């Protein structure tokens, strides 16, 4: 069972990917993690990717797919995997499909965790973090006992730059421009499944499980 997770930043697709991986005993593969592992282990692919990253450039799609295929060729992926954070664009999806076809393989499901933009802005701009102990809160859903103060260590809570409304809106714009077209791409391939990401996390997971089982 080979699955791609889609959804805007803050839609909760990473959390769902981890839960799917655990339930179905397949690896959760995030491109960021594979890049870091290849660079840390100084593999030839890692060295190549590092050159681009050191220059502040995006790693080309072909190289990203090579690193990804190298990962999914490992033994723990023989029953499938969950891809989180890749593909992000149509060209990436096409390269991935071409390479998988050569291996007589294909993606089984693309799962879109659908959350309206206004919910995401509310969800992310309400987050607060403690930079001392790493605890996270939400002003509506998980408020600290005392406003602006961490329950665990008493330090001041801050809103990370990533969670500021203008940053979130900007990330959503990039998502709609680049990644949203993947929804159409996988719909045409007849493998797209959409779940409502506005409900409770457990209910989102139940909907995904119903699709996969």
What residues act catalytically? 13, 88, 127, 160, 171
Q: Reduce the secondary structure of the chain to three states and give it as a string.
A: CEEEEECCCCCCHHHHHHHHHHHHCCCEEEHHHHHHHHHHCCCHHHHHHHHHHHCCCCCCHHHHHHHHHHHHCCHHHCCCEEEECCCCCHHHHHHHHHHHHHCCCCCCEEEEEECCHHHHHHHHHCEEEECCCCCEEECCCECCCECCECCCCCCEEECCHHHCHHHHHHHHHHHHHHHCHHHHHHHHCCCEEEEECCCCHHHHHHHHHHHHC
Residue 208: name the closest of 85, 82, 120 by CA. 82
Residue with tokens 């961490």: 150
Judge whether 7 and 115 are in contact, CB under 8 Å.
Answer: yes
112's tokens: 């879109």
């Amino acid at each position: 069972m080979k699955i791609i997770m889609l959804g805007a930043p803050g839609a909760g697709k990473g959390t769902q990917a981890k839960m799917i991986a655990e339930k179905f005993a397949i690896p959760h593969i995030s491109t960021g993690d594979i890049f870091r592992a290849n660079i840390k282990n100084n593999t030839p692919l890692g060295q190549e990717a590092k050159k681009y990253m050191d220059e502040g450039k995006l790693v080309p799609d072909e190289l990203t797919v090579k690193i990804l295929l190298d990962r999914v060729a490992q033994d723990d992926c023989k029953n499938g995997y969950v891809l989180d954070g890749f593909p992000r664009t149509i060209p990436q999806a096409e390269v991935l499909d071409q390479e998988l076809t050569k291996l007589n393989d294909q993606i089984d499901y693309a799962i879109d965790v659908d959350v309206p933009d206004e919910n995401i802005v509310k969800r992310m701009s309400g987050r607060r973090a403690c930079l001392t102990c790493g605890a996270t809160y939400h002003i509506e859903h998980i408020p600290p006992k005392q406003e602006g103060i961490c329950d665990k260590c008493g330090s001041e809570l801050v809103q990370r730059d990533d969670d500021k409304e203008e940053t979130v809106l900007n990330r959503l714009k990039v998502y709609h421009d680049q990644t949203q077209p993947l929804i159409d791409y996988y719909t045409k391939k007849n493998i797209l499944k959409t779940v409502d990401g506005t409900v409770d996390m457990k209910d989102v997971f139940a909907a995904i499980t119903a699709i996969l089982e």
